[in-house]
Structures are given as structure tokens and as C-alpha cells.
């Protein structure tokens, strides 16, 4: 598995829903971006990134090129269609159209893939701690009429043991919900270890989502599989994509 270019979510999505997460493997980039870097904003060679994106689309058998967002750690949600502008500034996207590939990039932040159990709507979410705290999950679920019928896959993100944050981050989450205290354990020098997976699950449950899968990887620790900004600083980006067929 260590050299596999793609991860396929293990979840009971409807038959017409396709979902995939990339790893760092299977591309042509070199050095700190080796090898399947999909980010064109990290100073990698533009031609190599374009080739990596072509390979990603081909390997995943996508019906069209992924719709790449300009991610800013915010809460904006782009509603995609076949005529969408591909450079929307947003941290989540949602679509009801077949063949439109909702996509987010990450390298420690949490990617979430969503679909309804009828297979009529999908979404992709980029949730770093700031977007997660500010409500990007809630903003995305607002586009679904029945959150209790939504399935969510938590893609590869940094684990609690590797994710150190300051007390202001913990305070911001607890200020939103006292339950968030359960997602932090005390670290060194007045720092805290934050559990992004648990924080996301808490927000999802609060919105009525009952069906949550994934959340078992660590981008920081599994260096053979994933890029990690926390681990390496200058590095590549993975993608998580979902679409209807």
C-alpha cells in the first residue's frame, strides 16, 4: 500500500458516488515535492504539477478535470456546475450535477467528503483548525436538506499526537462548544495536542450527521504516504475528490 497513488474511501456510499484521496506517490515532481504534488501554489515546477494533475484525473477515472479551489482557510462554499469558474475562492464545494468533480487540497488539514444517501448531491471540504472552528462544516451542510441522511468520509489529516496548537486555539473551540475540551490533551510549555478528527465529528454530530467514516491516517507520521506541512514546511499537496456518475 505504501506506493499506491490513490486511497479509496471505505464507506457505504451510493453506487453512483465516486470518491478518492491521493497520496504523495505516482507523480513526476522531485525533491521536497516528490512525487504526486497537486498544488500549483507551492513553488513546484508548473509543468510537472500539470502532469501530476493529469495523472490524478486519469488514475481516478474522473469524467472531467477536478474543480480546484483557491483555498483560504475560510468558510465559503462554492456551488459547482458544469459552467463553474474553476478558480473560486472557497474552502468547500458542493454539486448536484453528474460529472462535476468537487475537490480540495490538503497537507495536514482535514479533507471531508460528503454525499447524501440518495446519491443526488456531493461535497468536498477543506478543514484546517481555523475553518473548522469558524464553521466550514456547518456552512457546507447547510446545502443539504437532510443532514441525518448525509454520509461523511474523513480523509487523511494530521493526528492528535502530532498536532500541537496554542491555548488560543483550544479556547476558540471551547468558546463555541464546551464539548470541544474532550479533543485536547495537555502538551509541553502551555501547548495543547488537538484532535482534528474528533473536533470534526463533534461538529458533524451537532448538525445531525450520524454516518461518519475514515479518520484513521496521520499525514505527519506516515511520511511514505503523505505530504505534511507541519513535518516538512516546504512540501506538496494531496487532493480529495468526489463526484456523481
pLDDT one-digit tens code per residue, 68-125 = 999 999 999 999 998 766 668 999 999 999 999 999 999 999 999 999 999 999 999 9
Residue 170 lies in a domain: no
Instruction: List Cα–Cα distances, 20 to 6, 36, 156, in angstroms.
Output: 7, 14, 11
Residue 1: per-residue pLDDT: 43
Q: Say yes or no to pLDDT of 4 above 90.
A: no
Residue 183: how many other CB atoms lie within 10 Å? 22
pLDDT one-digit tens code per residue, 161-198 = 999 999 999 999 999 999 999 999 999 999 999 999 99
Mean pLDDT of 198-227: 98
- pTM given for the model: 0.97
Point out which residues pair with 113 in neighbouring strands.
124, 153
CATH code of residue 143: 3.60.140.10
Residue 165 lies in a domain: no
Q: Say yes or no to pLDDT of 245 above 70.
A: yes
Percent of the chain with pLDDT over 90: 96
Residue 25 lies in a domain: yes
Residue 83: per-residue pLDDT: 79
Residue 92 lies in a domain: yes
Residue 179 lies in a domain: no
Mean pLDDT of 17-35: 98
Residue 192: per-residue pLDDT: 98
* Owning domain of residue 82: 6-158+209-244
Cβ pair 215, 98 in contact under 8 A:
no
Residue 109 lies in a domain: yes
Residue 2: per-residue pLDDT: 46
Q: What's the domain count of the chain?
A: 1
Residue 203 lies in a domain: no
Residue 178 lies in a domain: no
Amino acid at each position: 500500500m505504501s506506493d499506491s497513488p490513490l486511497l479509496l474511501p471505505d464507506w457505504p456510499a451510493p453506487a453512483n458516488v465516486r470518491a478518492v484521496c491521493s497520496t504523495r506517490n505516482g507523480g513526476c515532481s522531485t525533491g521536497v515535492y516528490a512525487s504526486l504534488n497537486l498544488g500549483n501554489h507551492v513553488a513546484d515546477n508548473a509543468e510537472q504539477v500539470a502532469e501530476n494533475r493529469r495523472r490524478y484525473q486519469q488514475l481516478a477515472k474522473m469524467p472531467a478535470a477536478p474543480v480546484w479551489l483557491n483555498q483560504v482557510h475560510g468558510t465559503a462554499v462554492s456551488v459547482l456546475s458544469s459552467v463553474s469558474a474553476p478558480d473560486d475562492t472557497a474552502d468547500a464545494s458542493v454539486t448536484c450535477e453528474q460529472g462535476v468533480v468537487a475537490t480540495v487540497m490538503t497537507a495536514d488539514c482535514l479533507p471531508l467528503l460528503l454525499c447524501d444517501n440518495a446519491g443526488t448531491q456531493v461535497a468536498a471540504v477543506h478543514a484546517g483548525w481555523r475553518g473548522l472552528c469558524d464553521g466550514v462544516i456547518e456552512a457546507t451542510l447547510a446545502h443539504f436538506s437532510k443532514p441525518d441522511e448525509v454520509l461523511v468520509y474523513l480523509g487523511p489529516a494530521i493526528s492528535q499526537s502530532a498536532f500541537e496548537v496554542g491555548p488560543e486555539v483550544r479556547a476558540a473551540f471551547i468558546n463555541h462548544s464546551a464539548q470541544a475540551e474532550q479533543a485536547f490533551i495537555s502538551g509541553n510549555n502551555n501547548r495543547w495536542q488537538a484532535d482534528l478528527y474528533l473536533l470534526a465529528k463533534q461538529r458533524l454530530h451537532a448538525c445531525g450527521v450520524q454516518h461518519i467514516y475514515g479518520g484513521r491516517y496521520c499525514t505527519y507520521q506516515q511520511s511514505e504516504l503523505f505530504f505534511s506541512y507541519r513535518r516538512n514546511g516546504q512540501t506538496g499537496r494531496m487532493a480529495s475528490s468526489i463526484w456523481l456518475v
